[in-house]
Amino acid sequence: KWLQKNYKLQITNYKLPTPLMNLFNGGKHADTNLDVQEYLIIPHGPRKVADKIRAGSEIFHALAKVLKRAGKDTDVGNEGGYAPRVSNNEDPLRYIMKAIMQAGYTPGKEISLGLDVAASELYDAKKEKYFFSLPKKWIDADGMMKVYKHGLSNYPLMSIEDPFAEDDWGAWVKFNEKCKMRNEKILVIGDDLYTTNVERLKKGIELGATNAILIKPNQIGTLSETIDTILLAQKHKMAVVISHRSGETSDTTIADLAVAVNAEYIKAGAPSRGERVAKYDRLMEIERELTK
């Protein structure tokens, strides 16, 4: 309420965000051999936030059983997701699909999948290529698009965050346009691409680089700049994902921010580790307040 009043947000009804829950940590977020930074589930089927969080938690614990049966460890990474060593970058998607079904949910209909590739970490600007260690190979932007096409064809993927490096603008534009042409209902999310920065977002809007933006308040530094970025994105019909960071505390402000600006999504990590769970607890608390 304070945020809406202070920033004169023209919102009449509160809309609660759908969580993007990180179940696998890789890349720079865990001591594993995974190239991709995050594998997520998006529980869009249940109507209430509490039921979405419950679904995510049930799938998270079902995934532990799936991994144990496969002989994998269940230690967690920086953002609460599991971080076992795997054979290839597709394995986590297969494990998560099994966990969704074993938890009693329907992939695609109730629970979809998401990726945070964090492709800037894989990119060599001199070679203009991306390096994958599973298996060891260099891939250009067109090759990356083929990888994503394979994923979209074989899994209920609903979002891909940072599919290309932060300055590989041409690849972003081409991929976003291809998704539109194929009528793919997928969120192409810019995080490293925009860094919650109005000037970079303006460029992305002008080029048509994405249809969604990740928002991290401490990425830009002030709440006012954060709100400015959100309002610009919403003005241009971009989906907004309010996000945590890898080095989190138990502060829950992003949950209130997501509700205040009517963000479609919130990304707060796995339903594990106190600094992640705190955000989900706050969301459920807000939902209870609104439904009194």
Annotated catalytic residue, options 38, 79, 264, 287:
79
275 is annotated as an active-site residue = no
**Joined tokens for residue 209:** 């680089």
The helix/strand/coil state of 22 is: strand
- Write the DSSP assignment of 104-153 as a string of letters: T--BTTTBEEEEE--GGGGEETTTTEEEEETTEEEE-HHHHHHHHHHHHH
Secondary-structure breakdown of the chain: helix, strand, coil percentages, each rounded to the nearest 5? 40, 20, 40
Tell me the C-alpha to C-alpha distance, in Å, between residue 40 and each of 30, 92, 114, 182, 220. 15, 10, 5, 23, 24
| Residue 16 DSSP code | P
Distance CA 200, CA 172 (A): 13
Annotated catalytic residue, options 216, 248, 275, 279:
216
79 is annotated as an active-site residue = yes
**Joined tokens for residue 147:** 């990888």
Which residues are known to be catalytic? 79, 216
